[in-house]
Amino acid sequence: MNNKAEDPNLWNDAGEAQKLMRERQQLDEGVNGVRAIERQLKDNVELIELGEEEGDEAIVKDAEETLKTLRTEANRKQVEAMLSGEADTNDSYLEVHSGAGGTESQDWANMLLRMYTRWAERAGYKVELLEVHDGEEAGIKSATILVKGHNAYGWLKTESGVHRLVRISPYDSNARRHTSFSSVWVYPVVDDSIQIDINESDCRIDTYRSSGAGGQHVNTTDSAVRITHMPSGIVVQCQQERSQHKNRAKAWDMLRARLYEAELKKREEAANAEAASKTEIGWGHQIRSYVLQPYQLVKDLRTGVESTAPSDVLDGALDPFMEAALAHRVSGGADKAVEDIA
């Protein structure tokens, strides 16, 4: 690939050139990442041996802490090796929808939106807010973000499903415990190498006024766009841009991505289970529970992975759950997934 990159005729086809350079960079980063782990492992083992010989406990302790961090990084690299799906390397759309329950559910949807935004930022991804429908009193009814970066869809794809929150509601004057549900739906951005044909006569296009906090940031024209694909029932919407033309173009891209994701799901054994998780935002369909009261626990109901620090999870510490879900998806066994992450 290096030889091809040095070919002066490469940029005669800009599309192929960009594809080659992108693939070369990904391979280069992967190889260098493994080599860096090997180098740090060797260096720190030697430091421990040196520290033990000289009786320097501080050196030994620092090197052992570095090895613990290195092990976490190596585990992540091992999980990334599982990301071999057709669209795993692509950017990703992520939608959040509040369930029944009014303000409480809408606040929970907003918490989930923040959680995934924080996770993406911590992972070095770029995040764009494409559309948001605010709740009447607090929170959001729905929102869509675009997560840009290598393997964004591969990491996020197991997050589709219903998420359940148990807490003492800040909106209940009697301080009673409430259970809320919101759903998450993840689908890959379709690149130019994937051809998705859509019959425009099968689609209904609606325009509406963008929602927002008010003032100069809210459009005074119907610039937001919603496209409904009648045969599949898929609905996408975009209000990020002030131009209806730009919002319409992005909405078409989102629809192509949703239709492509639907086709991918047909090829996977997990399709039925994931589709069922979207049929109802409520009991019996959740993939993960977040309990804030009377005790603190986040538990993934597919893999059994748990955390007793829900505040950390809600601040984006999702890697253990994603890693276990990916391992579970590949191995087909929850026990194996938990064992791998442990």
Greatest distance between any 2 Cα atoms in the chain? 78
Q: What is the CATH number of the domain that holds 243?
A: 3.30.70.1660
70 and 97 share one domain: no
Of the two residues 123 and 278, the one the predictor is more confident about is 123
Mean residue pLDDT of the chain comes to 84
Yes or no: say if 182 and 109 are a contact pair by the CB < 8 Å rule.
yes
User: pLDDT band at residue 279, thresholds of 50, 70 and 90?
Assistant: very low
Asked whether residue 322 is domain-assigned, the answer is no
117 and 61 share one domain: no
Percent of the chain clearing pLDDT 90 (strictly above) = 46
Q: Is residue 138's pLDDT more than 60? A: yes
- Tens digit of pLDDT for each residue in 151-162? 899 999 999 999
Asked whether residue 342 is domain-assigned, the answer is no
d(CA 16, CA 217): 39
Of the two residues 222 and 221, the one the predictor is more confident about is 222
Please identify, among 12, 47, 80, the residue that sits at the C-terminal boundary of a domain. 80
Q: How distant, in Å, are the alpha carbons of 47, 53, 211, 246, 290 from that of 314? A: 37, 44, 26, 33, 9
Asked whether residue 182 is domain-assigned, the answer is yes
45 and 169 share one domain: no
Across 74-103, average pLDDT: 84
Of the two residues 197 and 71, the one the predictor is more confident about is 71
Across 198-212, average pLDDT: 83
Asked whether residue 256 is domain-assigned, the answer is yes
d(CA 313, CA 311): 5
Q: How distant, in Å, are the alpha carbons of 114, 115, 192, 199, 320 from that of 317? A: 12, 8, 33, 41, 8
254 and 150 share one domain: yes
143 and 226 share one domain: yes
pLDDT of residue 217: 44
Across 268-290, average pLDDT: 60
Asked whether residue 120 is domain-assigned, the answer is yes
pLDDT of residue 82: 76
- Tens digit of pLDDT for each residue in 13-56? 887 888 788 788 878 888 898 999 999 999 999 999 999 999 99
User: pLDDT band at residue 8, thresholds of 50, 70 and 90?
Assistant: confident
| Structural domain containing residue 44 | 2-80
Least confident range from 62-71, 142-151, 270-279: namely 270-279
Asked whether residue 36 is domain-assigned, the answer is yes
pLDDT of residue 340: 44
57 and 130 share one domain: no
144 and 267 share one domain: yes
Task: Tell me the H-state helices in the chain.
Answer: 2-5, 14-54, 57-80, 103-122, 152-156, 244-267, 271-277, 310-314, 319-331, 334-341
Q: Which of 253, 286, 336, 250 is nearest to 164 (CA)?
A: 286
Asked whether residue 309 is domain-assigned, the answer is no
User: pLDDT band at residue 282, thresholds of 50, 70 and 90?
Assistant: low
pLDDT of residue 193: 59
24 and 104 share one domain: no
Q: Is residue 146's pLDDT more than 80? A: yes
Percent of the chain clearing pLDDT 70 (strictly above) = 85
Of the two residues 333 and 253, the one the predictor is more confident about is 253
73 and 100 share one domain: no
- Tokens linked to 63: 């090197």
Peptide bond into 320 cis (omega under 30): no
Least confident range from 89-103, 126-140, 185-199: namely 185-199
Q: Is residue 222's pLDDT more than 80? A: no
Structural domain count of the chain: 2
- Tens digit of pLDDT for each residue in 291-341? 998 899 999 999 999 999 999 999 999 999 998 998 887 665 433 433 444
